[in-house]
Structure 1
Amino acid sequence: MSGAMRTVTVVGASLAGLYAALALRDEGYDGRLVIVGDEHHRPYDRPPLSKEFLTGALTADRLALADAEEIAGLDAEWLLGTRAAALDTADRSVVLESGRRLTTDGVVLATGAAPRRLPGRPPEGPPSGVHTLRTLDDAAALREALSRGQARVVVIGAGFIGAEVASSCATMGHRVTVVEAAPQPLLPQLGQEMAEACAALHTDHGVTLLTGTGVSGLHADTRGNVAWVELADGRYLPADVVVVGVGVRPNTDWLEGSGLALDDGVVCDRGGATSVPGVVAAGDVARTDGTRSEHWTSATQQPTVAVRNLLAGTTIETHTGLPYFWSDQYGVRVQFAGRRAPGDTVRLAEGSPEDRSFLAVYERDGVPTAALAMNRPRPFMRMRKELTRAGGLAAV
């Protein structure tokens, strides 16, 4: 099928989108390559947005994922600041918001995800001073808000992005409160004991952590700036800056009516192939085996497999990488790999949670299923390799 492909369109100028474009050229595709991105920026690295970029240690030009030579080598047509509005599978075209149609033989969906909003927000939108953090522009706006002097910062959501933002704000000298609806941060991912260890990172550094309560409202002062966060339990928190980090949702609205199977993402097989021939998906938007992987490693691995299958016209390869993610919080590197299930037990292999330096191994019937580490990178990497071998998985 690759010989019949004269045009391939990558929708999403993201990490996954860039890796898909690079993979296309690496696989020998020499036809027209179009990359559509709703941001005005070429692909950049998102993990530093909540850390080094937010604190000012890293400038925007240092975030680029490809240099000028690599960009030129792609020989691609970049349509940036352009939003895809529809996918017309009948005449094989991507319809842009402007009404322009891009006729294409193959499509790579790499549109990622967007921050979830707080439920019940007023029709006029949130007050000034309320931020989400997903894009470079989001991070620049938040950094500017934090540069005006010491602020009372309320972070809603204690997932990895929320925790990293809280860490950065505390490092910058702001007064930080983190609000988490669950009894502990990251409880579904890590289980009770290890979630408590992550929660302790906040209190170690003077950050107030409020768990077991949600947010029922955001209130502005007379100038329209956020002033109070109303909690579901009736408490009010004074705030100058609010950061909402309550998860993301896949960017699939524009695909409604396309004929693609959609279910909290684009449903695809383990090779990234969708229900429509000639269309593959990779990265945060791809739902494989009933799950989506919203992590950097998956966004770099899935596109290569998806592109091979796109060019072959059928699934000839599957992605078998072990789930892996990391987070830097309060000077501590947190790493996790594997597939933990609710019934798994956890064993402390070395170190101590109290010292914020340990390796913990999750097990099912005595067999390792996942690993979590704080500031133990070498033992963790050895355990990660062991998990990969034990699962019969390809190295990641």
Structure 2
Amino acid sequence: MMRDVVIVGGSIAAVTAADALRQQGHDGPITIVSDERHAPYVRPPLSKGMLKGTESVDSVFMAPLRADLDFRPKTRARGLDLGRRRVLLEGGEELPYDGLVVASGARARRLGPPEAGELVVRDLDDALRLRESLTTARSVVIVGGGFLGMEIASTARGLGLDVTVVDRDPPLVRQFGAFLAGHMTRAALAAGVRLVHAPDGVRLAGTPATAVLTGDGAPLEADVIVTAAGDLPNVEWLAGSGLGGPGGLLVDERCRVAPGVVAAGDVVTRVSDHTDLPRRSPHWGSAIDQARAAALALLKGDEAPEYRPSPYYWTEQWGLDIKICGRILPGCETHVVTGSMEEGSALLQWTRDGATVAAATVNHRMPVVKLRKLAAAPVPERTTG
């Protein structure tokens, strides 16, 4: 019988897992340990409304936790004893568990040591530091032209800063495909952003950093240097347990890792339906879905339903409000269902091997439930782009 549950992590995956356990009837103790000093909050606004100043800091916090949860902020897990079923905490305390949810998330990847002074956006304190820095800066260089980097670039440009984005790959293509990424990149250029291609990578110059050096040694100088070059799953505390690796924590079809251990959120890696290689899906919607699946797996074992990924994510940049369901895969064909990109509002679908794999709205109001249906619907014959 499962009695004591420990959840390591304090973000949306951790809170969702705790709520799901209670909703499914678990009445035993649930302890949540988080190394952050804040109460649980949501991360998407950190690079969007909160960074822009259009949303207050208070708006990112979740509703107060249930009174029947033992939440411990500023508490770091340092190890896991699988045999004895104990989570080891800094300071020497050990938390026994019958069920463990690993939701320890990820941290920002950095280019240099702490003294380099580069800024990142991963947690609330990161976002607050960057927001303050942008208010007094005149220029910013952003390393990384992906999802996060271009959102930061859009905000900084909207504040009137000179903005340079440098990456070894074309901006946004991996996340949005060539068709949509091309449209977003043109919008960035029209807004006055400088895009620098650095196929050989970059390095920081100065302590603290005042420039980014590309492979040919050309300096890109700025008042603020921001790194938006991905993240690293927080699995170091699992070293010695036999679980986890540099790429994350591999789960099965029910988000299970080992007997009595499940995982959810940015720490999770799983074998994709479209490739034999494990991959992560570090999105807000994935964290919620995985957490619910993981909670059911703890309670019901093999009787629990399998986790079926249904990615949903969104971005706001360059005046574009884009929401996507599904996964835009390499080799997809893009179809404009209604509207047009030139007119500023459209519905898009992506197909691969004749099957629809994703759909998106661009400045178009559509409920998420309908967008999910569009991501699985046949493509109309009317328009193709």
Same fold (TM over 0.5): yes
Q: In the alignment, what sits opposite 2:234?
A: 251
In the alignment of these two chains, the number of paired residues is: 372
Counterpart Cα distance in 2 of 1:95 and 1:295: 28
> Is the aligned partner of 1:345 residue 2:333?
yes
Same amino acid, percent of matched pairs: 40
1:202 matched to 2:188? The reply is yes
Preserved CA contact (<8 Å) 1:372 1:380: no
Find 1:90's aligned residue among 83, 96, 113: 83
Residue equivalent to 1:366: 354
Give the structure 2 partner of residue 40 of structure 1: 37
Partner in structure 2 of residue 75 of structure 1: 68
Contact in 1 for aligned 2:323/2:362 (Cα 8 Å)? yes
Structure 1 residue ranges (4+ consecutive) displaced by more than 3 angstroms after TM superposition: 212-215, 379-383
Determine the C-alpha separation between the residues in 1 that align with 2:28 and 2:15: 16
Do structure 1's residue 219 and structure 2's residue 205 form an aligned pair?
Answer: yes
1:101 and 1:158, CA in 2 relative to 1: closer, same or farther beyond 3 A? same
The answer to whether residue 102 in structure 2 is matched with residue 109 in structure 1 is yes
Deviation at 1:152, TM superposition (A): 0.8
Asked if 1 retains the 8 angstrom alpha-carbon contact of 2:8 and 2:101, the reply is yes
**1:197-256 superposed Cα distances (whole Å, 9 cap, x missing partner):** 121121121111223445432222xxx443222112332112110110001121111112
Q: Pick which of 22-31 and 353-362 moved more.
A: 353-362
2:149 counterpart residue number: 162
In structure 2, the residue matched to 1:185 is: 171
One-letter amino acid matched to 1:226:
A
Secondary structure of residue in 2 paired with 1:311: helix
Pairwise CA distance, 1:55: 2.3
Which amino acid in structure 2 is aligned with residue 51 of structure 1? K
Q: How many angstroms does 1:389 deviate by?
A: 6.6
Query: What are the within-5 Å matches in structure 2 for residues 230-241 of structure 1?
Result: 230-241=213-224
CA deviation after TM superposition for structure 1 residue 151, in Å? 1.8
Indicate whether 1:175 and 2:178 are aligned. Answer: no
Aligned equivalent of 2:249: 266
Question: Which 10-residue stretch deviates more, 259-268 or 286-295?
Answer: 259-268
Q: Is the 8 A contact 1:271 1:306 kept in 2?
A: yes
Q: C-alpha separation between the residues in 2 aligned to 1:10 and 1:31?
A: 13
Query: Residue 62 of structure 1: which of 30, 53, 59 is its match?
Result: 59
* TM-score computed with the length of structure 1 as normaliser: 0.88
* 1:242 corresponds to which of 220, 225, 228: 225
8 A Cα contact 1:113 1:285, kept in partner? yes
Deviation at 1:381, TM superposition (A): 6.0
- Counterpart of 1:61 in 2: which secondary structure? helix
1:336–1:370 CA contact under 8 A, matched in 2: yes
Mark the runs of 5 or more structure 1 residues left unpaired by the alignment. Answer: 391-396
How much does 1:314 deviate? 3.6
Please state whether the residue corresponding to 2:127 is helix, strand or coil: helix
Deviation at 1:388, TM superposition (A): 4.2
Alignment TM-score, normalising by the size of structure 2: 0.90
Give the conservation status (yes or no) of the 8 Å contact 2:358–2:376.
Answer: no
What one-letter code is carried by the residue in structure 1 that aligns with 2:58? D
Distance 1:168 1:374 in 2: 18
- Gap regions ≥5 residues in structure 2: 272-277, 379-385
> Does residue 1:334 correspond to 2:322, yes or no?
yes
3-state secondary structure, aligned to 1:283: coil
Give 1:286-305 correspondences, 5 Å limit.
286-289=268-271, 290-305=278-293
